[in-house]
Amino acid sequence: MTEAERAQPGEILMASPRGFCAGVDRAIEIVERALRKFGAPIYVRHEIVHNTYVVNDLKQKGAIFIEDLAEVPPGATLVFSAHGVPKAVEHEAAVRGFQVFDATCPLVSKVHVEVAKLAREGYEFLMIGHKGHPEVEGTMGQLSDGIFLVEDAADVAHAPVTRPDKLAVVTQTTLSVDDAADILAAVKARFPLVREPKKQDICYATQNRQDAVKVLAPKVDVVIVVGSPTSSNSNRLRELAARLGTPAYMVDSATDLQPEWLDGRPRVGLTAGASAPDVLVQAVIARLKALGSVSVRSLPGVEETIEFPLPKGLGDKSMAEAGF
């Protein structure tokens, strides 16, 4: 790499793409449109996306975030978060007669559809993901049994699979591509007949942001990731930069940025997880400039043009208009 390709001292180098993805945009828009159409309060099961600023902003507008549907009064309007929900939650909401708008990311929904289809064909499943993450709970909750979580390669050896000849793998969409590949390799070694996903379950936005960090990290002295601690894809960006040998830190807001992180590291790389709004990125840039950064430059990267349709009753975009 030539010096011209690196960030210059005092320069902030921005990864591209970064920040909001189509699924997050859609989820937030669903809550905001529901608030405008039906008025406050609108109940949301779990954080709509994993970002503190976004959740607090929607709370101020009249959204109430809950974990248990018992907290939702009769006749209320309910939104499912972008991470998806188990079948039992869908059933309970239907039985109780809520008006429901499903903000599950369409890419997560694709995984749910695939699980249901293969289960009807007699398959068992291994799910690669993090225990307790709402997306994992939602996907595993599509079935009452026959789906087992593996968080790392060591878990594969203990998976209680009974039908190794009819076994499929699904993946949490926001995982590190490299981590998912390592675990999948262990699965294939133990279960040679395993059915892999037709298409990589890692979502396009997660993939693109990780690829952008792979370009960014070698060019800078430190990487700052804007994202909340609960955001899986933001955590993976920080881990990836560190694995590439560049010190990396994650901030929920500009006030989290510590001046000592920049000591002796004049070239700063900046990115943001898929649930982090640009207003937070701009605030971090302002903070970096106050600490001595003098210029900002964006790297070239993949241009994301995907849009997802809104649920019936909130928007009139068709699938064709949405380009998906």
- Would residue 135 show up in a list of annotated catalytic residues for this protein? yes
Cβ atoms of 226 and 270 within 8 Å: the answer is: yes
Dist. CA 24–CA 108, nearest whole Å: 12
Compute how many other C-beta atoms are within 10 angstroms of the C-beta atom of residue 245.
Answer: 9
Q: Which of 146, 190, 192, 189 is nearest to 170 (CA)?
A: 146
* Residue among 135, 137, 304, 307 flagged as catalytic: 135
Coil, strand or helix at 295: strand
Q: Which of 184, 173, 166, 172 is nearest to 119 (CA)?
A: 166
Dist. CA 268–CA 7, nearest whole Å: 7
The H or E element that residue 24 is part of is helix 22-38
Buried b / exposed e across 48-69, counting CB within 10 Å, b at 16+? bbbbbbbbebbeeebbebeeeb
Displacement of CA 249 from its chain's centroid (Å): 18
Residues 6+ apart with CB under 8 A from 101: 30, 34, 77, 78, 79, 80, 311, 313, 314
Residues classed as catalytic: 135
